[in-house]
Amino acid sequence: MRITMAAAGLAGLLVLTACGSGAEPAATGPATLRMTIWTGNAEHLSLLNSIADEYKKTHQDVAAIKFDTLPIENYTTTLTTQIAGGNAPDLAWILENSAPDFVGSGALAPLDNLVQPEQLAPATTKLWQQEGKLYAYPFSTSPFGVFVNLDLLKQAGQKPPKAGWTWEQAVAAAAAVNKESGKAGLVVRDFDYKGWDNLATVWGGWGAEAWSEDGKTCGFAKPEMVEAMTFLHKAIFTDKALPAPGTTADFFAGEAGMTITQISRASLLKDATFKWDLIPLPTGPKGAYSVIGQAGIGVIKKSPNAAKAADFLSFLSNPDNSAKLGQYFPPPRTQLLTAESLGKSNPLLKPEQLQQVVIDGISTGRVKPSHAGQAELAQTVRAQLDQLWQPGADVTKTLAGVCTAIQPMLAK
Amino acid sequence: MPDRTTWWTASRRDHLVGYAFVAPQLLGSLLFVFLPLGLVLYYSLHEWNVLADTFEFVGGENYRQLLADPNVPKVLGATALFSVGLVVFNLSLAMLLAVLLNQRLRGTVVFRTLFFSPVVVSLVAWTIVWGFLLQSNGGVNALLQTVGVEGPNWLRTGTGAMVSVIGVQVFKNVGLNMVLFLAALQGVPKELYEAARMDGAGAWTRFARITLPMISPTVLLTSIITVAGSLQVFAQIAVLTQGGPGTSTTVLVYYLYQQAFQFHHFGYGATLSVLLFVIVLALTVLQWRMRRRWVFLEA
């Protein structure tokens, strides 16, 4: 008993000392910068490292710059756990769905010294701003398009789709592919009946949105969303144009006729054994629309090397380096957003594909849904939408249920 | 001042040696059990926003939230369902396998190895493979189709998902309990069976009246380990269902993980782990107390 008491006493003492630590002091001497990223691709890393090496040549105060790859599945969770554990990186790559949490909480330092910030396309910086200040550099702005397996469509007797095609045509072609080949028709990549925010690439055609622009009102029960989801439900369960829940199909392995995904996935088609095309999203009842996925790089305010990290970020994002990075990550700088400039670094894509999907997409695109407290919202919506993903589901009732569940969270 | 020679007595020396022996274990427990336990209790009284870097004392607010949280009853229900399903299915299958493989038959060694091998396989790898097999167009349903049965969409229906996570966990760990039961069975004196046979006892009577009481200490051990383990299930849920469909497989540990690490409510997450600690402690104490009623040699 006495030992237990002593242990409890010691634990209490350690608790008190653990909590006594305040803000970390600014570091002196050459710093080692660490940036968390989610790509583990050797080519991406070698480009980032070469830019870092160039920076170090002229900056003696930075001893090393490390790019720390965290797995994409748990990227944000790992990053916040590192911050909680007192092991925060100096710079972090941030996904669009956690942008409001990072920008709004004050976790990031404002970026005041970017090179030629006026060149950044306004559509790309919107998500990363607060009260007129930019808190992360929109490092990668990647529009969604539709990759088409022309061989599978031909086999199903379908003409190659072209820009300006409609959702009806897309579903008809996808259903034909499924009927003829037994393969999946259209795959909304990364949705898999869980990542529902990817469905923004579908409901955008109906002018629907998950929540209002100010983030206060739920949009799931609105008539345009009900119409879009009714269409999608029928396409899945009646037309069999999309693979049903619990079925996996990889477009890039030739298992599906079409897939909606970001253009940065084009690199997966380097060794494709089938003919393919990339076209803009189909038009819906509300006409043409485009959706973009984004990633920003921010400086963690808590970092003792925050000033040095911000300086490195200015270098990494300057026009020259943006152009280099543009071959993997569509840049936000307007002067780089030309078919000619992007074509140099994206040899797999044709100029008209780049113009229609990338350049037009970035200038008009809406970013995938994001909100403060996104993880909890996403989980709540996911749990409610599970009722929708079965034959005979009541679409209107399920969507009303989504709003009942999330409205109190949005109104906070 | 006391004389040094009288202070340094044989009994004092013995005590010191004793303390030296337990010191490493004590230090380990202190650092890795009592300290985190104390910290969790401390955090549960705070609201900790990692991103905004705020840490505020909120008193019993997190505990009030726990009582008012509409998800908690559902989560506890799913946890109870998982635990009961796992414990019943795991222990009965382990016992059945142990009794079968305790016979002097050909091939028992092969089967023992076969059933034990999943225990040494990486849990996540095992679960990922099962994730593929349980797809609606996966291996399990393909197998069912060969006998004319249309399998359900395992991971997409509430009951199917719960059955799947229980099944995946049972087949992963049943081998361990089986080996423990086998060892216990081999310790039962043969004379008892011979005597029972002479008295005309049938196979079931011999099992119920001799085997079960004789191996009851092992049954107690395995049930404590399995119950405590079942309340800590995480990887299978994270890989297979992420708590869905709906919230049907959101067990307490997964809910705790969501609150703390995904939703950044570290204070509330700590409160949920206090609840988990209390439940595990209560169940273990209950099992330990009840042992006198049914464990042979404990009366």
pLDDT tens readout for residues A352-363: 888 888 888 887
Task: Answer yes or no: is pLDDT of A17 > 70.
Answer: no
At residue A7 the predicted structure's pLDDT band, cuts being 50, 70 and 90, is very low
Decide if A245 and B156 are in contact by the 8 Å CB cutoff.
Answer: yes
Chain A residue with minimum CA distance to B56: A19
Task: Answer yes or no: is pLDDT of A254 > 80.
Answer: yes
Task: Answer yes or no: is pLDDT of A271 > 90.
Answer: no
**Nearest CB partner across the interface for B156, out of A105, A384, A389:** A389
A2, A4, A15, best to mutate vs chain B, most B CBs in 10 Å: A15
Higher pLDDT among residues B298 and A347, named by residue: A347
Mean pLDDT (whole number) for B218-247: 91
Q: How far is B298 from chain A (nearest CA, A)?
A: 25
**Nearest CB partner across the interface for B35, out of A11, A105, A375:** A11
Phi, psi of A31 (to 5 degrees): -100, 155
Q: Would you state the structure tokens that stand for residue A296, as one six-digit string? A: 């920003």
Task: Answer yes or no: is pLDDT of B75 > 50.
Answer: yes
Decide if A246 and B154 are in contact by the 8 Å CB cutoff.
Answer: yes
Residues 6+ apart with CB under 8 A from B92: none
A2, A4, A5, A14, best to mutate vs chain B, most B CBs in 10 Å: A14
Decide if B244 and A383 are in contact by the 8 Å CB cutoff.
Answer: yes
Higher pLDDT among residues B4 and A163, named by residue: A163
Q: Which residue has the tokens 């069976």?
A: B193
A-chain residues near B37 (CB < 8 A): 11
The whole-angstrom separation of Cα B247 and Cα B69 is 14
Mean pLDDT (whole number) for B204-219: 91
B-chain residues near A10 (CB < 8 A): 30, 34-35
Minimal CA–CA distance to A246: which of B141, B148, B91, B262?
A: B141
The whole-angstrom separation of Cα B284 and Cα B299 is 19
Task: Answer yes or no: is pLDDT of B281 > 80.
Answer: yes
Averaged pLDDT score across all residues of chain B: 91
Mean pLDDT (whole number) for A138-150: 93
Phi, psi of B111 (to 5 degrees): -65, -40
Domain B71-294 falls in which CATH fold?
MetI-like fold (1.10.3720)
Task: Note the pLDDT tens digit of each residue in A148-159.
Answer: 999 999 999 999
Task: Answer yes or no: is pLDDT of A240 > 70.
Answer: yes
Which range has the worst mean pLDDT, A15-19, A271-275, B76-80, B288-292?
A15-19
B25, B39, B51, best to mutate vs chain A, most A CBs in 10 Å: B51
Minimal CA–CA distance to A36: which of A62, A85, A75?
A: A75
**Nearest CB partner across the interface for B247, out of A81, A383, A389:** A383
**Nearest CB partner across the interface for B51, out of A105, A379, A389:** A105
Q: Would you state the structure tokens that stand for residue A163, as one six-digit string? A: 């820009």
The verdict on B82 touching A (C-beta cutoff 8 Å) is no
For A161, the 3-state DSSP assignment is coil
Decide if B38 and A15 are in contact by the 8 Å CB cutoff.
Answer: yes
Residue B128 is predicted with a pLDDT of: 94
Task: Answer yes or no: is pLDDT of A4 > 80.
Answer: no
A-chain residues near B52 (CB < 8 A): 105-107
Residue A156 is predicted with a pLDDT of: 95
Question: What is the sign, positive or negative, of the torsion defined by CA atoms of B118, B119, B125, B129?
Answer: positive
**Nearest CB partner across the interface for B136, out of A15, A107, A246:** A246
Residue A359 is predicted with a pLDDT of: 85
The whole-angstrom separation of Cα B256 and Cα A347 is 47
Task: Answer yes or no: is pLDDT of A10 > 80.
Answer: no
Mean pLDDT (whole number) for A341-349: 78
The verdict on B88 touching A (C-beta cutoff 8 Å) is no
Where do the domains of chain B lie? 71-294
Residue B117 is predicted with a pLDDT of: 94
In chain A, what is the straight-line distance between the N-terminal and C-terminal CA atoms, in Å? 47
Interface of chain A against chain B, CB under 8 Å?
3, 7-8, 10-12, 14-15, 18-19, 77, 80-81, 83-84, 101-102, 105-107, 193-194, 244-248, 302, 373, 375-376, 379, 382-384, 386-387, 389-390
**Residues A169 and A241: beta-carbon distance below 8 Å:** no
Residue B5 is predicted with a pLDDT of: 65
**Residues A333 and A319: beta-carbon distance below 8 Å:** yes
Residue B2 is predicted with a pLDDT of: 54
Task: Answer yes or no: is pLDDT of A80 > 80.
Answer: yes
Q: Which domains does chain A have, with CATH numbers?
A: 29-142+293-367 (3.40.190.10)
Percentage, residues of chain A above pLDDT 90? 65
Decide if A101 and B264 are in contact by the 8 Å CB cutoff.
Answer: yes
The verdict on B35 touching A (C-beta cutoff 8 Å) is yes
Q: What is the dihedral of CA A68, A267, A257, A365, to 10 degrees?
A: 70
Residue A284 is predicted with a pLDDT of: 95
Please report, for residues A389, B217, B228, the alpha-carbon distance to residue B222 in angstroms, rounded to integers and kept in the order given: 40, 9, 10
Mean pLDDT (whole number) for A273-291: 94
Question: What is the sign, positive or negative, of the torsion defined by CA atoms of A406, A408, A411, A412?
Answer: negative
Decide if B39 and A18 are in contact by the 8 Å CB cutoff.
Answer: yes
Percentage, residues of chain A above pLDDT 70? 93
Residue A2 is predicted with a pLDDT of: 42
Mean pLDDT (whole number) for A208-237: 96
For chain A, what is the radius of gyration of the CA atoms? 23
Residue A278 is predicted with a pLDDT of: 93
**Residues A368 and A99: beta-carbon distance below 8 Å:** no
Phi, psi of B234 (to 5 degrees): -145, -55
Question: What is the sign, positive or negative, of the torsion defined by CA atoms of B133, B139, B143, B148?
Answer: positive
Task: Answer yes or no: is pLDDT of A343 > 60.
Answer: yes
Chain B residue with minimum CA distance to A82: B50
At residue A16 the predicted structure's pLDDT band, cuts being 50, 70 and 90, is very low
Residue type, A375: A
DSSP H stretches of helix in chain B: 4-7, 10-29, 35-43, 61-68, 71-101, 108-116, 123-133, 139-146, 158-185, 190-198, 203-206, 212-230, 235-240, 252-257, 266-294
**Nearest CB partner across the interface for B30, out of A10, A246, A389:** A10
The whole-angstrom separation of Cα A95 and Cα A73 is 12
**Nearest CB partner across the interface for A15, out of B42, B258, B263:** B42
